[in-house]
Amino acid sequence: MDAVLETRNLRKHFGALAVANDVSLTVDRGARHALIGPNGAGKTTLVNLLTGALAPNAGRVILEGVDITGEPQHRRVARGLARTFQVNQLFPGMTPLESVALSVAQRRGTTGRWWPRLARDGEAIDEAAELLDRLRLLDCAHEPTKTLPYGRQRMLEIALALALQPRVLLLDEPAAGVPEDESVELYATLAELPETVAVLLIEHDMDLVFRFARHITVLVAGSVLVEGSPEEISADVRVREVYLGEADHG
C-alpha cells in the first residue's frame, strides 16, 4: 500500500493553544480513510493545514511523494487535492450548472482566458452536466443555488470537488445537517466514488463512518490517539472513553 498523502509531525498553535500536536497521518492510494474525534479535536484545522489554507508551525505535508508544505492552495489543487467544507461554500447566485462548469473550467485551466466564449466550450459544460446527472442534480441545473434544499446543496458541494478530478478528496463532515430522507443519496454518492480516488472523511455520523471507512484515525485535542481498522477502533477502550466521556458531559 503506498501513501498518496501524508503528514509528518505537523504542528500548529494559536498562541498557547495547540490545535495540531505532532500529527503524523498517512492516507493510502484508493483509501477510504475516516478521521473522527470529539468536537474541537482539530479535525477541520488539519484539513486546512493539508489544503494550505493554514500554514503549519512545524512539520511537512507530502502529496504523492512531493513536499507541498510551502505551496499555496491553488498549487495543491492543481496537484490533485480537493476538499469540501463543513459549512457549504457555494455560489449562491449561480446555478449548479454554472458552478460545476466553473470548477471544470478551473481544472482545465481556462479561467484565465477572457477572450473565448464559455458557451462555446461545449465539452466543459457537457462534463459539468454529466457530473450533475451522476449526482442526481441535473433537474435543478438551472436554478440559483440559494433556492435549492439543503441536501442538494450538500451534494453540489461534493460535485464541485469531484469536478476537479482529484487524486485525494478531503470531505469535511459531508453528512452534517442533511435530513434523514436525503442522506440515502449522499451515502450512495460516497459509495460510488471512484476507487482511484483516495478519500479522507471527517465525520461525526458513526453510521456513515463504519459503513464507509476501511481505516480510521482518531484525533483528540490535536493529537492522534489511535488508528486502525473499524473493528479495532470500535473495540478500543480509549476511544470509547473519549466518546462516552463526551456523552457524559453532553
Partner 1 sequence: MTMDHKLRYAPEVDRLKATASWRLSEVGFWLLTIAAYFLLPRQLVLLSRVAVMGLFALSLDLILGYAGIISLGHAAFFGLGGYAAGILAQHGWGEPLSGLVVAGMIAALLGFATSFLVLRGSDLTRLMVTLGICLMLFEVANKLRSLTGGTDGLQGVSLWPILGIWSFDLYGRTAYGYSIIVLFLIFLLVRRVIHSPYGLALRGIKENQRRMHALGTPVARRLVVAYTMAAGLAGVAGALLTQTTQFVSLDVLSFEKSAEVLLIVVLGGSGTLYGGLIGSLALIVAQYLLSGISPEYWQFWIGIAFIALVFLARGGLMGLARGALALLHARWHGSEIPSGG
Q: Which span (54-62, 112-120, 173-181, 206-214) binds partner 1, by CB under 8 A?
A: 112-120
CB 204 within 8 A of CB 232: no
CA 10 to CA 12: how far, in whole Å?
A: 7
> Can you tell me which of 5, 34, 90, 224 binds partner 1, judged by CB under 8 A?
90
Cell of 35: 478521521
* 152 lines the binding site for partner 1 (CB under 8 A): no
CA 238 to CA 46: how far, in whole Å?
A: 21
* 142 lines the binding site for partner 1 (CB under 8 A): yes
* 164 lines the binding site for partner 1 (CB under 8 A): yes
* 126 lines the binding site for partner 1 (CB under 8 A): yes
Q: Which span (25-33, 36-44, 67-75, 197-205) binds partner 1, by CB under 8 A?
A: 67-75
Q: Closest Cα to residue 121, out of 144, 149, 98, 137?
A: 98
Phi then psi for residue 42, to 5 deg, are 100, 20
- DSSP-derived letter for residue 145 is G
Rule CB under 8 A: which residues touch partner 1?
51, 53, 72-78, 82-83, 85, 89-94, 97-99, 101-103, 105-107, 110-119, 121-126, 128-130, 133, 138, 141-142, 144, 147, 160-161, 164
